[in-house]
Amino acid sequence: MATNFLSTANLFHLATPTYVHNNSIIKCNVKRESTLCQVVNPSVTKRGISIGFVTSLVLSLSGKGLFDANAAILEADDDVELLEKVKKDRIKRLEKQGVISSSTKETGYLQDVVYKLSEVGKAIEKNDLTTAGSVLGSGKDATDWVQKANIALNKLSSSPEEKTEVDTFNSSLASLVSSVAQNDVKSSKIAFVSSAAAFEKWTSLTGLVGKLKGL
């Protein structure tokens, strides 16, 4: 590091003395009333500074190029993984559509579920639990359509999310039947909303939304 300092000088001393101290050269320029001395480190030269700058620049550019190359490789890997995921998802959708197309009987069971939920919802909205109960049925009648619904739900459910919605629908439907039978309007409304929401979400996950009327 270069250091500048002023010292008192002889007005008539016109020489430019040079001193060596700790491997550094001290050059003094004598002016009329003061002497300006500068410590110069021999290793710090213009050529050394230039070489150091060029080297730093090359290393910087090389590092940037290496970073860009690595980033490009990672992006390519991500693109390949994304493409594979898209292909697998498309295959699954096609397979599911094939199963749905060949499941005419099961689709009919689910259409009956849509009809019953629609009629029950209208009745509950009017606090008419008697009509809601007649739509849901009791005893063997209620068991029959619920069993058929589950045949369809289980056949067309493949993912964990779909199966979770089936469980939610069944538990909510059981609560709905029980609440209506007990003439509990508030509990019936809560159970109806829960069962209808679960069934609607299930149809969305499975791609059955456009296949069933009334949704």
DSSP 107-172: HHHHHHHHHHHHHHHHHHHTT-HHHHHHHH--THHHHHHHHHHHHHHHHH--SHHHHHHHHHHHHH
For residue 91, is it within any domain? Answer: no
For residue 69, is it within any domain? Answer: no
For residue 176, is it within any domain? Answer: yes
Share of the chain above pLDDT 90, in %: 43
Instruction: Judge if 20 and 120 occupy the same domain.
Output: no
pLDDT digits (tens, 9 = 90+) for 46-83: 445 555 544 554 445 455 555 566 666 666 666 777 77
pLDDT digits (tens, 9 = 90+) for 149-203: 999 999 999 899 999 999 999 999 999 999 999 999 999 999 999 999 999 999 9
In the chain, how many H helices and how many E strands? Answer: 6, 4
Residue 63: predicted pLDDT: 54
For residue 211, is it within any domain? Answer: no
Residue 173: predicted pLDDT: 96
Instruction: Judge if 119 and 191 occupy the same domain.
Output: yes
Instruction: Judge if 106 and 197 occupy the same domain.
Output: yes
Query: Given a cut of 90, is residue 100 above it in pLDDT?
Result: no
- 3-class SS of residue 76: helix
CB 7 within 8 A of CB 38: no
For residue 145, is it within any domain? Answer: yes
Give residue 199's domain range: 98-206
Instruction: Judge if 124 and 172 occupy the same domain.
Output: yes
Q: In the listed set 13, 46, 64, which residue is the last one of a domain according to the structure? A: 64
Query: Given a cut of 50, is residue 42 above it in pLDDT?
Result: no
Q: In the listed set 41, 64, 87, which residue is the last one of a domain according to the structure? A: 64
9-14 contact pairs (CB < 8 A, 24+): 9/33, 9/34, 9/35
Instruction: Judge if 106 and 57 occupy the same domain.
Output: no
Mean pLDDT of 203-215: 86
Instruction: Judge if 183 and 103 occupy the same domain.
Output: yes
For residue 88, is it within any domain? Answer: no
For residue 122, give the CATH number of its domain.
1.20.120.290
For residue 75, is it within any domain? Answer: no
Regarding pTM above 0.85, the answer is: no
Q: How many domains does the chain have?
A: 2
